[in-house]
């Protein structure tokens, strides 16, 4: 389950975020020569909840949400650049924190804000406000996404395999489709 899809959906549909940065929300890297402010979200790491029963049914990925604002332009109401960035940071936090539900197909149990930093990108002459969020993503509907072992792998292939091995075979077969 890609929490990034949920982040994109949430940020591009929130009216305050849209007012401040439109739909300039990018996974991993900002598009070239894009207007600012803009948001980039990047997966930092993931902690899973594997048990002896089998693979993790609940992942806890941590995403860095970076807000870039140019040092030059002002906001829609004449705000200073850094103030625009901070307004956007609050809007993003308001949008993401403790959100739950199925968003863009991702079963999101919760999200929490865990860290933040103020940076300045000297080369791009841009303010860079960086916030980290941890998401709790339910993975128990993997079957619904077509990862069912019974759909893509014969029972004979799975005979004797551990739960982990079965899951790996399912993913492998899914990728072959």
* Footprint of other proteins (CB under 8 A): 49-53, 58, 110, 112, 134, 136, 162, 164
Give the C-alpha distances (Å, rounded to integers) separating 144 from 47, 57, 67, 100.
23, 13, 34, 19
CB of 74 to other proteins, least distance (A): 36
CB of 61 to other proteins, least distance (A): 13
Q: Which is nearer to other proteins, 48 or 79 (CB)?
A: 48
Binning the chain into helix, strand and coil, the percentages to the nearest 5 are 35, 35, 35
Rounded-to-integer distance, Cα 134 and Cα 155, Å: 37
Which of 100, 113, 120 lies closest to 58 in space, CA to CA? 100
Q: Which is nearer to other proteins, 66 or 134 (CB)?
A: 134
Q: Which is nearer to other proteins, 69 or 95 (CB)?
A: 95
Tokens of 94: 């308001």
Rounded-to-integer distance, Cα 56 and Cα 60, Å: 10
Rounded-to-integer distance, Cα 160 and Cα 162, Å: 7
Q: Which is nearer to other proteins, 13 or 49 (CB)?
A: 49
CB of 63 to other proteins, least distance (A): 14
Q: For 45, phi and psi rounded to 5 degrees?
A: -165, 170
Which of 151, 115, 112 lies closest to 134 in space, CA to CA? 112
CB of 140 to other proteins, least distance (A): 11
CB of 60 to other proteins, least distance (A): 8
Q: Which is nearer to other proteins, 114 or 124 (CB)?
A: 114
């Amino acid at each position: 389950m890609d929490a990034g899809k949920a982040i994109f959906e949430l940020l591009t549909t929130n009216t305050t975020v849209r007012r401040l940065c439109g739909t300039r929300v990018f996974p991993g890297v900002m598009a070239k020569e894009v207007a600012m402010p803009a948001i980039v979200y990047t997966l930092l790491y993931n902690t899973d909840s594997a048990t002896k029963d089998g693979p993790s049914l609940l992942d806890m990925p941590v995403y860095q949400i970076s807000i870039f604002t140019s040092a030059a332009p002002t906001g829609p109401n004449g705000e200073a650049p850094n103030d625009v960035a901070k307004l956007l940071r609050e809007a993003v936090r308001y949008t993401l924190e403790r959100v739950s539900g199925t968003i863009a197909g991702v079963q999101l149990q919760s999200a929490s804000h865990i860290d933040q930093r103020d940076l300045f990108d000297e080369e791009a002459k841009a303010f860079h406000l960086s916030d980290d969020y941890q998401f709790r993503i339910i993975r128990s509907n993997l079957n619904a996404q077509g990862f069912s072992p019974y759909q893509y792998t014969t029972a004979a292939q799975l005979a004797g395999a551990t739960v982990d091995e079965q899951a790996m075979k399912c993913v492998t077969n899914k990728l072959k489709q």
